[in-house]
Amino acid sequence: MKGRVFVIGLGLIGGSLALCMKGQHKDCYIIGYDINDEQGKLAKMLGVVDCVASSIEEGAMDADLILITTPVQVTERILNLLAVIPLKETVLVSDAGSTKAEIVKHAEKLTAKGITFIGGHPMAGSHKSGVSAARQLLFENAFYLLTPEKHIAEEKINLLKEWLKGTKAKFIVTTPEEHDYLTGVISHFPHIIAASLVHQAEKTSHDQSLVTRLAAGGFRDITRIASSSPTMWRDILLQNKEILLQLLSDWQQEMKEVAAMLKEQDGERIYQYFEKAKKFRDELPQKQMGAIPAFYDLFVDVPDYPGVVSEITGYLAKEEISITNIQIRETREDIIGVLVISFQTEHDRLRAKECIEYYTSFETSIAP
């Protein structure tokens, strides 16, 4: 496809979308803009974009496709700005935000002028941020939700899908309201719970010094998403307020039922509670990407001797396997530890497992 694409926000998502379109559509010209000049310069230097606009007005006026890949509250301000810029009548505008109903409402000023806006949400991410972490394969096999209003012609939806074909994502068309409910249940609400667990541990640690030390293992894993951007999650919670208030009310009722089981010492109900949760969780798709970015961890049992970590990372480097994070857990002091290595993709994790088992006798495992 030929045309001018304007990407506003040159972070991980914006940069990755730009790379996907450059890879799929060789004749398109990609213009980028970021409020951080250094990100813009880096995007141009890395070949993520063909040029960097000095302002949103400059980049938007002749664009055939405008993608807004900024935090949701910033997206609202950009939509207001685009509504007063003389855009091409045929331009297609989309975003990549984690909430949709409020965004679509803000886009009404654009749609009132005959401009087509289709909300979008690629459900993929990474533990790294910034344009330097952008990857063409970031969205492969991920769900990409599109939330067009009812009056949007099917041909416009298909045109956006064609522009985004290089993501190799699985497109799902839904309403803005359904999107916000679904992401509220399986993404936004879990982030609240993770943060609340961390707050509870932090308060307990004032009186129990062992909390911090013991929380370094499994507790750290189940609360990893609490390390996400506070600014981003403040905006998401405020945008999806009504749904999250209802989910919090439901959660409080759920906890009351658990408390009642404990007070009544109802062992059978407690067993069934965990049995039902286990059954549902075990039936969830294991290899599909969901609303929360997956953590591709490999656990390696390593003996305690100098240089063991550099030895393993050296083997991975030799096979050109990139890692995103590495940590050591001492399960039995002074005897053996567990090296936890995180990767960006399942493919990298499996390659690393084969690599380590080929070069060493260390045992490796993947958590279910």
Q: Which domain holds residue 322?
A: 296-365
Is 164 found in the same domain as 30? Answer: yes
- Could you say which of 174, 191, 209 is where a domain stops? 174
What is the rounded CA–CA span in Å between residue 67 and residue 167?
14
The reply to whether 356 falls in a domain is: yes
The reply to whether 192 falls in a domain is: yes
The reply to whether 106 falls in a domain is: yes
- Could you say which of 282, 313, 329 is where a domain stops? 282
Is 30 found in the same domain as 150? Answer: yes
Neighbours of 168 (CB within 10 A): 17
- Could you say which of 153, 174, 195 is where a domain stops? 174
Is 300 found in the same domain as 274? Answer: no
pLDDT at 331: 44
Residue 326 in contact with residue 309, Cβ under 8 Å? yes
Q: Which two tokens stand for residue 139?
A: 């969205």
Is 102 found in the same domain as 18? Answer: yes
Residue pLDDT, tens place only, 34-89: 999 999 999 999 999 999 999 999 999 999 999 999 999 999 999 999 999 999 99
Pairing of strands 65-68, 51-52: unpaired
> Of how many residues is the chain composed?
368
pLDDT at 335: 45
The reply to whether 135 falls in a domain is: yes
Pairing of strands 325-332, 336-343: antiparallel
Q: What is the DSSP string of 87-134?
A: --TT-EEEE--S--HHHHHHTHHHHTTT-EEEEEEE----S--SGGG-
Residue pLDDT, tens place only, 186-240: 899 999 999 999 999 889 888 888 888 777 667 877 888 888 888 889 999 999 9
Please name every residue paired with 95 in a beta bridge, in sequence order, or none if there are none: 68
Assign residue 37 the CATH number of its domain: 3.40.50.720
Residue 332 banded pLDDT, cuts 50, 70, 90: very low
**Secondary structure class of 327 (helix, strand, coil):** strand
pTM confidence score: 0.79
Number of domains composing the chain: 3
Pairing of strands 364-365, 336-343: unpaired
Q: Look at residue 291 and tell me whether its pLDDT is greater than 70.
A: no
Assign residue 230 the CATH number of its domain: 1.10.3660.10
Residue pLDDT, tens place only, 168-201: 999 999 999 999 999 999 899 999 999 999 999 8
Is 117 found in the same domain as 193? Answer: no
The reply to whether 228 falls in a domain is: yes
The reply to whether 291 falls in a domain is: no
Alpha helices, DSSP H, located in the chain: 12-24, 37-45, 56-60, 72-82, 101-106, 108-111, 154-163, 176-183, 189-205, 210-214, 218-222, 230-239, 241-263, 267-282, 308-318, 346-359
CA atoms within 13 A on the CB side of 57: 4
Is 196 found in the same domain as 67? Answer: no
Assign residue 307 the CATH number of its domain: 3.30.2130.10
151-160 long-range CB contacts below 8 Å, 24 or more apart? 152/116, 152/118, 156/92, 156/116, 156/118, 157/118, 159/92, 160/65, 160/92, 160/94, 160/118, 160/120
Is 49 found in the same domain as 170? Answer: yes
Is 350 found in the same domain as 269? Answer: no
Is 34 found in the same domain as 136? Answer: yes
The reply to whether 289 falls in a domain is: no
What is the rounded CA–CA span in Å between residue 70 and residue 12?
10
Is 163 found in the same domain as 136? Answer: yes
The reply to whether 40 falls in a domain is: yes
What is the rounded CA–CA span in Å between residue 33 and residue 49?
9
Neighbours of 19 (CB within 10 A): 24
* Local structure of residue 301 (DSSP, 8 states): E
Q: What is the DSSP string of 202-214?
A: HHHHTT-THHHHH
Pairing of strands 51-52, 28-33: parallel
Is 148 found in the same domain as 57? Answer: yes
Is 195 found in the same domain as 145? Answer: no
